[in-house]
Amino acid sequence: MRAAQVTRVQNGLDVTRELPADVPRIFRALSDPDELSLWWGPPGYPMVSCTIDFRPGGVWHYLLRGELTKEEFWARAVYTEIVEPTRLRYWETPSDSAGGVAAGRPPADVAINLAPAPDVATTTLTIRIRHRSALDRDRALKLGIESGLSRALDALDLLLVADSSERQHP
């Protein structure tokens, strides 16, 4: 498993990670609700509800729930750009269960780029997260965005490795 490289910038984070699958497979893991529910969210806070209207202007609405605490975190992301299979961009905010924007965690502009790595069987995933200010970035860091995202990418990596194993050994 390859660790994510996380760089803190003035008002956000840049995250880069090599993943063990081709670009279309990673894109599917980022755009399909069933796939996302298998890995999205920090450990102990699985995604338990997810709907996606996958088009520019469409909404991805999801719920993370603490396995022990039962604490709930709703979020909504409005897609601003989709270039299949290499790029996604969305504006993410906390939400309520009905999908309305709520207060709480700082909103973020998230851009995800996928590029074939030199090893054809791998993909370089780059995530650019930008908040409205350095203060919002610091709030997001305090809430655990850096470690939560890194650990979610670990779960994605494991899912892709298992998927690859299943294809090789039916």
All domains of the chain in start order, with CATH? 5-164 (3.30.530.20)
Q: How confident is the model at residue 103 (pLDDT cuts 50, 70, 90)?
A: confident
pLDDT tens per residue, range 106-157: 999 999 999 998 866 899 999 999 999 999 999 999 999 998 999 999 999 9
Q: Could you tell me the pTM of the whole model? A: 0.92
Helix then strand then coil, in percent of the chain rounded to 5, is 25, 40, 35
Query: CA 157, 37, 63, 31: dihedral to nearest 10 degrees?
Result: 80
Whether the Cβ atoms of residue 26 and residue 19 lie closer than 8 Å to each other = yes
How far is the C-alpha of 156 from the C-alpha of 145, rounded, in Å?
Answer: 16
At 119-132, the pLDDT tens digits run: 668 999 999 999 99
Q: Give residue 163's pLDDT.
A: 80
